Amino acid sequence: MQLYNTKTRKLEDFKPLSSREVKVYYCGPTVYNYAHIGNLRTFVFEDIVVRTLRFLWYNVKTVMNITDIDDKTIRDSQVAGEDLQTFTRKYTDIFLSDLDKLNIIPADNVVPISTLIPEMVRMIQTMLNRKNAYLGDDWSIYFDVKSFKKYGKLANLDMCCLKHWARVDSDEYDKENVSDFVLWKAWKESDGEVFWNEEFTITPPPSPLLTKEGGQVESLPKKEKVVLKWRPGWHIECSACNMKYFWAQIDIHMWGVDLIFPHHQNEIAQTEACTRKEFSRYWLHSGHLMVDGKKMAKSSNNFYRIKDLEEKYLNPPLTPPLNKGGGQVTSSVLYRAIRLSFMNAKYNSEVNFTFDKIDSNISVINSVDELVKNINREIEKSDNNAMVSRDFRETMQDYIHEYMYYLEDDFNIPEALVVFHNFLKFANTAIREKLFSIWELSSLLDMLRTFNQVLAIVDFDVVVNEEIPSEINELFEARNTAKKNKDFALADKLRDELLEAGYKIVDSRDGSYVEKI
């Protein structure tokens, strides 16, 4: 298996640290609002990576943090008039619900960083002891980037112009502001009740608070214990999370390209300063999600959440609406169409989100659902008990071998989807021609389940053996009579009545039938 490593900027063979377990970490959301579709595209990519590794028989263990302490969560919880824990728990639950809707497998350990304060304190004290960190004159603790010789390699930074002792206490900043970054923030009045009284042993720097009149600096003790109101900086959180669950080293670290700098670069510096070992062997980053070819932004009116897409496609709530192509849009269909839209481009390239693509993928998902139903119907009524033919078996093997080839090629899902669509055409054509035995039909369902272990866009629960109410059957028969008499206006009216009642008509080569939506 090969994957593209951001750290080396080349395609590499995947060689885990241990044959027993693959350790995978991915950054979680900052829970101060709904996750937008750009965030969710990245989580779908990470889900594909984990599903693929497990599909290929790797024993994968996963950890994801939840950032429930930072500038944004504190600010917005105060605006909402809620305590920080209540506020962030609400948005954590919404986020986890969004993951479930998109068939994203949650991490084995989903960890609020507010539970990791002891791990952060231990790491920061280690960095202080090793002179990788220091107390600033603002009483925050900073990481000294000059003390870490490999700083800048992941983000491909030019460190020659770095100003020594330049500092930044913001969680997010750009490459033009490379500086010593904050590990532990001194409390400010705007933080309200969010602080911890933690003790550190520190060699304090000259400070205005320790200066005599006339500018003479008092002699300072070599070390002293300091207890102040503090709270963690953003970057130390993920390092502490990895340290608790995976210790010094992991196999794969993931998220979008926007976190390469400063977050991931700072994670490497902090963790390796403490462990003196390579933190992550492989770094995988997804590309940006664009909307109609533009950067997504509220000011551009192209900023979307799952909630917004639900309001567009699933209203009115009592009658499942139709998309542009005439396909039925249920919540299950919509969520799988969104997931499919995020997979139509290679993970490390940009994905362009459009509503035309959502409409197209809704039609694709509906066609997949119809195939599942048709296979099950054929199994129920078939009396062909012939054994699986050699040609059929070889064809199926060809599909799975080609599918696995693309999965092992740096998670090349667009090409894997081509194989999937070719299989759908093969299955549909053969079902129309009634070429398969019961055993071969069952093998088709098994193959769909195999594809679905990674793609997660097939719903096998669409087959519902439910008795159709008599009044629905009467409407259906009346529609067929109207259509036979070429009274198409009445036929359309009766079809719409069936739709409003939650049933649809399916026309096939073998005749028409009605089924519950």
* Residue 338 Cα distances to 47, 69, 407, angstroms: 14, 30, 21
Judged against a pLDDT cut of 60, whether residue 212 lies above it is answered with no
Rounded Cα–Cα distance for residues 289 and 203 (Å):
46
Judged against a pLDDT cut of 50, whether residue 423 lies above it is answered with yes
Helices (H), 130-178: none
**Mean pLDDT lowest among 200-209, 252-261, 300-309, 327-336:** 200-209
What's the topology of domain 291-462? Answer: Isoleucyl-tRNA Synthetase; Domain 1 (1.10.730)
Bridge-based pairing state of the strands 250-256 and 22-26? parallel
Cα dihedral 105→58→260→233 (10° resolution): 70
Q: What is the pLDDT of residues 11-20, one digit of tens each?
A: 999 999 999 9
Q: What is the pLDDT of residues 110-146, one digit of tens each?
A: 999 999 999 999 999 999 999 999 999 899 999 999 9
Rounded Cα–Cα distance for residues 101 and 105 (Å):
10
Rounded Cα–Cα distance for residues 262 and 181 (Å):
9
Rounded Cα–Cα distance for residues 294 and 45 (Å):
21
What is the CATH architecture assignment of 20-286? 3-Layer(aba) Sandwich (3.40)
Largest CA distance in the chain: 106
Tokens 């021609």 locate to 433
DSSP 8-state secondary structure symbol assigned to residue 132: S
Nearest to 333 by CA among 383, 380, 370: 370
% of residues, the chain, pLDDT over 70: 91
Return the CA Rg of the chain. Answer: 28
Judged against a pLDDT cut of 90, whether residue 263 lies above it is answered with yes
Q: What is the pLDDT of residues 441-451, one digit of tens each?
A: 999 999 999 99
Q: What is the pLDDT of residues 490-514, one digit of tens each?
A: 888 888 888 888 777 776 655 677 7
Kindly state the tokens that stand for 376.
């099950």
CB under 8 A, 24+ apart: contacts of 204-212: 204/135, 205/134, 205/135, 205/136, 205/137, 206/137, 207/137, 208/137
- SS3 of residue 490 by DSSP: helix
CB under 8 A, 24+ apart: contacts of 494-497: none
Angle, CA 354 vertex, CA 352 and CA 360 arms, to 5°: 110
Question: What count of other Cβ atoms lies within 10 Å of the Cβ of residue 481?
Answer: 13
% of residues, the chain, pLDDT over 90: 72
Average pLDDT over residues 190-196: 94
Q: Give residue limits of the domains in the chain.
A: 20-286, 291-462, 470-516
Burial of 413 (0-12, 13-18, 19+ CB in 10 A): buried
Which phi-psi region, left, alpha or beta, contains residue 301 (left: φ > 0; alpha: ψ -120 to 50)?
A: left
Helices (H), 233-330: 235-246, 265-275, 306-313
Q: What is the pLDDT of residues 370-386, one digit of tens each?
A: 999 999 989 988 888 88
Kindly state the tokens that stand for 100.
């479930």
Rounded Cα–Cα distance for residues 461 and 164 (Å):
61
318: confidence class by pLDDT, cuts 50, 70, 90: very low
- Tell me the HSE value of 238 on the side-chain side, using a 13 A CA sphere: 29
- SS3 of residue 369 by DSSP: helix
Rounded Cα–Cα distance for residues 452 and 242 (Å):
30
pLDDT at position 208, please? 46
Any bridge partners for residue 110, and if so which? 64
Kindly state the tokens that stand for 188.
């400010």
Rounded Cα–Cα distance for residues 409 and 12 (Å):
10
pLDDT at position 214, please? 45
Q: Edge-to-edge strands of the sheet including 294-295?
A: 294-295, 289-291, 351-353
The residues, ordered by sequence, that sit 6+ positions from 432 with a Cβ below 8 Å of its Cβ are: 509
Q: Mean pLDDT in the chain?
A: 90
Rounded Cα–Cα distance for residues 259 and 65 (Å):
14
**Mean pLDDT lowest among 258-267, 388-397, 467-476, 507-516:** 507-516
164: confidence class by pLDDT, cuts 50, 70, 90: low
- pLDDT winner (highest mean) among 86-95, 135-144, 314-323: 86-95
pLDDT at position 457, please? 98
215: confidence class by pLDDT, cuts 50, 70, 90: very low
Bridge-based pairing state of the strands 60-66 and 22-26? parallel
